[in-house]
Amino acid sequence: QVQVVESGGGLVQPGGSLRLSCAASGSVSRLDGMAWHRQAPGKQRELVALITSGGRIIYADSVKGRFTISRDNAKNTIYLEMNSLKPEDTAVYYCNVVIGLSTYWGQGTQVTVSS
């Protein structure tokens, strides 16, 4: 069993910053890709950023230059540093991890950007 737990969401004003964390635990023999997705009300879930085991990083165009994904392999943890937040960044942010052919999702953490 693999558990994936996100933390760090909350309410922030436009232009503010938040840092999300995602930790994988349990039967984690080898982590391949780890990624952040988000889902806003009434919209489909979308990829925000991913980082492979080799360190390759991909960002959605909407967050390039504002969000930074990083990875701590020793802790099986990834982070998402979010700066210059906009109201349209409001969503539930989900973390997923890929181990071999299996994908595991966390429960999500709410991020609300509002004045």
What is the C-alpha radius of gyration for the chain, rounded to an integer number of angstroms? 13
Q: What average pLDDT does the segment 72-92 reach? A: 95
Q: How confident is the model at residue 95 (pLDDT cuts 50, 70, 90)?
A: very high
Q: What is the pLDDT of residues 32-68, one digit of tens each?
A: 889 999 999 999 999 999 999 888 999 999 999 999 9
| Residue 29 pLDDT > 90 | no
CA–CA separation, 52 vs 46, rounded Å? Answer: 17
Summary mean pLDDT of the chain:
95
Two tokens at 104?
Answer: 């595991």
Q: How many CA atoms lie within 13 A of 84 on its CB side?
A: 7
Asked if 77 and 22 touch (Cβ cutoff 8 Å), the reply is yes
- Residues whose CB is less than 8 angstroms from the CB of residue 54 and which lie 6 or more positions away in sequence, other chains included: none
